[in-house]
Amino acid sequence: MTHEDPIAKAHREEIEARLQQGKAKLDGLEATAKERKAHADIEAIKALRAKRDEIQARIHELKTVGEAKTAQVKADIGAKLAAFEEEVNKLATKLKAHVTHG
The number of beta carbons lying within 10 Å of the beta carbon of residue 84 is: 20
Please give the Cα distance from 81 to 57 (Å, whole number). 12
pLDDT reported for residue 78? 93
pLDDT reported for residue 21? 95
In a domain, 100, yes or no: no
In a domain, 51, yes or no: yes
pLDDT reported for residue 1? 41
In a domain, 22, yes or no: yes
Q: Which of 47, 59, 46 is nearest to 19 (CA)?
A: 59
In a domain, 48, yes or no: yes
In a domain, 1, yes or no: no
pLDDT reported for residue 65? 81
In a domain, 102, yes or no: no
In a domain, 29, yes or no: yes
Tell me which H or E stretch contains 85: helix 67-101
Please give the Cα distance from 60 to 87 (Å, whole number). 23
pLDDT reported for residue 62? 80
The burial class, CB within 10 Å (0-12 / 13-18 / 19+), for 77 is buried
Q: Which of 93, 48, 55 is nearest to 73 (CA)?
A: 55
In a domain, 53, yes or no: yes
Burial 26-36 (b: 16+ CB within 10 A, else e): beebbebbeee
Provide the number of structural domains found in the chain.
1
Which range of residues forms the domain containing residue 21? Answer: 6-94
**pLDDT tens for the chain, residues 1 to 102:** 455 677 777 888 899 999 999 999 999 999 989 998 889 999 999 999 999 999 999 988 887 887 778 888 889 999 999 999 999 999 999 988 876 655
